[in-house]
Amino acid sequence: MNGALKAAWALTAFVVLVGLVGWLLTGEAFFAVFIVLGVLTALGAWFTGRTGPKEGERP
């Protein structure tokens, strides 16, 4: 895992955590947006962090 991918996962965890803590402490449903953005960031990190097929393998 390279540095950019580690940063993407750290950003994901931070955004989801802020969303959860904000929603629990204030009761404002607006913080669900943070959770959704964190999940989208996680999906982006997962898709871009996947490795391609090894040399000689069929895709």
Q: What is the pLDDT of residues 28-49, one digit of tens each?
A: 988 999 999 999 988 888 887 7
8 assigned to some structural domain? yes
| Tokens (6 digits) for 28 | 């404002």
54 assigned to some structural domain? no
Is residue 18 scored above 70 in pLDDT? yes
- Cα-Cα-Cα-Cα torsion 46, 14, 27, 30, nearest 10 degrees, comes to -60
37 assigned to some structural domain? yes
Q: Return the pLDDT at 14.
A: 92
Q: Return the pLDDT at 48.
A: 79
CB 5 within 8 A of CB 48: yes
59 assigned to some structural domain? no
Is residue 11 scored above 80 in pLDDT? yes
Cα 35 to Cα 53: distance, rounded to the nearest angstrom? 32
* Type of residue numbered 17: L
Its domain, for residue 23, covers 3-49
39 assigned to some structural domain? yes
Q: Return the pLDDT at 22.
A: 93
Instruction: Look at the chain and report how many structural domains it folds into.
Output: 1
For residues 33 and 55, the model is more confident at 33
21 assigned to some structural domain? yes
Nearest to 35 by CA among 56, 18, 58: 18
User: What is the biggest distance separating any 2 CA atoms in the chain, rounded to whole angstroms?
Assistant: 55
